[in-house]
Structure 1
């Protein structure tokens, strides 16, 4: 089947508009920060997120995953919070038990018991064993 010049021109215009729209949506999504690889930037951000998750949470100690995907945070009263990526943001849950924690060398797999929150494996390096031991005191 042969296309006339008008049909080819119309198909070319359709293609150009489609490509322009795809590029426009991609640009808009990047400007809005959608679909990015969300990571913790540092200890200051961990402290801010802990305070935002639980009002009055005064961070005394923290251990951040080496890749920035989560953190464990302890306040001055001994409460422990797990911060982890949840979609394109970070969410925090207070831990009340060590039942959902498993240590494997430098990796600590931990959950809050909330099935919607899930669990995460944090690479805490040498701090993994220290935090795993301190979690055993939760709920005691």
Structure 2
């Protein structure tokens, strides 16, 4: 049986692509990071703002956003941005509105955008943000 050269080249290329895809998935490339616990939120908050030590934390149900408050009553919103996390310290210019099971936080930075957080007790955080 003679295999045409173009078909052989296609099959070898397809095998190589699938092997590279499998290797990338095995190494965790392309996966979406999550905020799984308070320690991960503290770590990300410290990366965003040097010296920020979160004392109270709320992680959204999907694990892609969080709120953190420090001892100085500063509140930081953290969201996934690609395969990393970005955050902003909220100010008195921050707009927040409550929905049935979530809050929408708009920190006023157009590049950061607004953040939807699906929290267990959203009204506590709405009050805290409004007091800024």
Q: Do the two structures share a fold, i.e. TM-score over 0.5?
A: yes
Task: Pick the aligned partner of 2:89 from 94, 102, 116.
Answer: 94
Distance 1:58 1:117, change over 3 A: same
Compare CA radii of gyration and give the structure with the larger one.
1
When structure 1 is superposed on structure 2, of 23-32 and 89-98 the one drifting more is 23-32
Q: Is the 8 A contact 2:65 2:80 kept in 1?
A: yes
Give the CA deviation at 1:135.
0.6
The count of corresponding residues between Structure 1 and Structure 2 is 132
CA displacement, residues 38-79 of structure 1 (integer Å, 9 cap, x when unaligned): 211211100111111111111111111011011000000010
Give the CA deviation at 1:32.
4.7
TM-score normalised per structure 1: 0.84
Give the CA deviation at 1:115.
1.3
When structure 1 is superposed on structure 2, of 28-37 and 8-17 the one drifting more is 28-37
Distance 1:98 1:71, change over 3 A: farther
TM-score normalised per structure 2: 0.89
Q: Is the 8 A contact 2:76 2:88 kept in 1?
A: yes
Q: List runs of 5+ in structure 2 lacking aligned partners.
A: none
Task: Pick the aligned partner of 2:128 from 121, 134, 137.
Answer: 134
Alignment root-mean-square deviation, CA: 1.8
